[in-house]
Amino acid sequence: MDPMPQTPWYVDAFRADYLEVYAHRDDATAAREVKGALGLLRHDPRRGRLLDLASGAGRHSEAFAADGCHVTCLDLSADLVQRSRARGLRTVRADMRAVPFRDWSFDSVTCLFSSFGYFADDRDHQRTLDEIARVLVPGGRALLDLMDRETVARNLVPQSVDVIDTAVVEIERFIDAEARRVEKHLCLMRPGEAPRRWHESVRLFDEGELAAFAMRAGLRYEAQYGDYDGRPHAEGRTRRLVLLEKPR
């Protein structure tokens, strides 16, 4: 008998209590990042339509809306989609590999907070970029916020323990060099409750890999940056923001 298929990590991880672990990712930070993202995308909020892929509970999308954007949120997590809708955001529950919108529906697409790289098979990352290319208008742009491999390796904290209100969060982190992924194992413990354990696994890409994915999707690899303020990317010192454009 074939073994039961294992639930992908991103289905199990992104429940409501995920937000407790990442509570330090606040609205003020999102507002700053959104202003930078709009500048890098050269997105005009008065006219353009923006799709926020893997939008989670809508932290960045709410900031996009506050800046006047016509933003649509897309996420797979039922819990996070519920939170996003509670913010009053236009939100769709769907898989980023099969975006439920027509061709040429959006002027800009964002995929923030290291949300590109979840899948175990690179064909799924290619499908995601194919979908981004399909729903972009000619001349539209996409911004991917990714982890830089050397920066992660330099700053990685192998173990940490945090106290959040009455909960304790234990996290173990390591880089799987062969798979080119950052792995995290988390345990959330609350008084009187069984521990909740899950893991996260995100692919690390280099510039050549990303450019090849983009080319196959029909997107131009326009630029990469070290942060939302447009500073140059520096391996080992900054994050990696990648700007892609759909040719006219």
Distance of CA 205 to the CA centre of its chain: 14
Residue 132 confidence (pLDDT): 98
Three-state SS at 68: coil
Could you say which DSSP state residue 55 is in?
-
Q: What is the mean pLDDT of residues 118-138?
A: 98
Q: 136-146 and 159-164 as β-strands: parallel, antiparallel, unpaired?
A: unpaired
Cα-based torsion angle of the residue sequence 82, 84, 86, 89 in order, rounded to the nearest 10 degrees: -130
The model's confidence at residue 3, banded by pLDDT at 50, 70 and 90, is very low
Residue 158 confidence (pLDDT): 97
Q: What is the pTM of this model?
A: 0.94
Could you say which DSSP state residue 233 is in?
P
In a shared domain, residues 72 and 186? no
Spatial separation of the C-alpha atoms in residues 55 and 59, rounded to whole Å = 8
In a shared domain, residues 63 and 163? no
In a shared domain, residues 159 and 141? no
The model's confidence at residue 106, banded by pLDDT at 50, 70 and 90, is very high
6-18 pLDDT per residue, tens: 789 999 999 998 8
Question: Residue 218: inside a domain, yes or no?
Answer: yes
In a shared domain, residues 66 and 155? no
243 pairs with which residues across the strands? 143, 223
In a shared domain, residues 125 and 74? yes
Question: Residue 1: inside a domain, yes or no?
Answer: no
In a shared domain, residues 73 and 158? no
**Of the candidates 53, 38, 40, which has an alpha carbon nearest to the alpha carbon of residue 129?**
53
In a shared domain, residues 85 and 51? yes
33 CB-near residues (< 8 Å, 6+ apart): 60, 63, 112, 145, 228
In a shared domain, residues 30 and 126? yes
Q: Report residue 5: phi and psi, to 5°.
A: -65, 140
Say yes or no to pLDDT of 105 above 60.
Answer: yes
CATH number at 192 reads: 2.20.130
Domain holding 75, by residue range, is 9-148+205-245
Three-state SS at 232: strand
194 CB-near residues (< 8 Å, 6+ apart): none
Percent of residues, the chain, with pLDDT higher than 90 = 90
Residue 95 confidence (pLDDT): 98
Three-state SS at 194: coil
Question: Residue 194: inside a domain, yes or no?
Answer: yes
Say yes or no to pLDDT of 155 above 50.
Answer: yes
In a shared domain, residues 16 and 30? yes
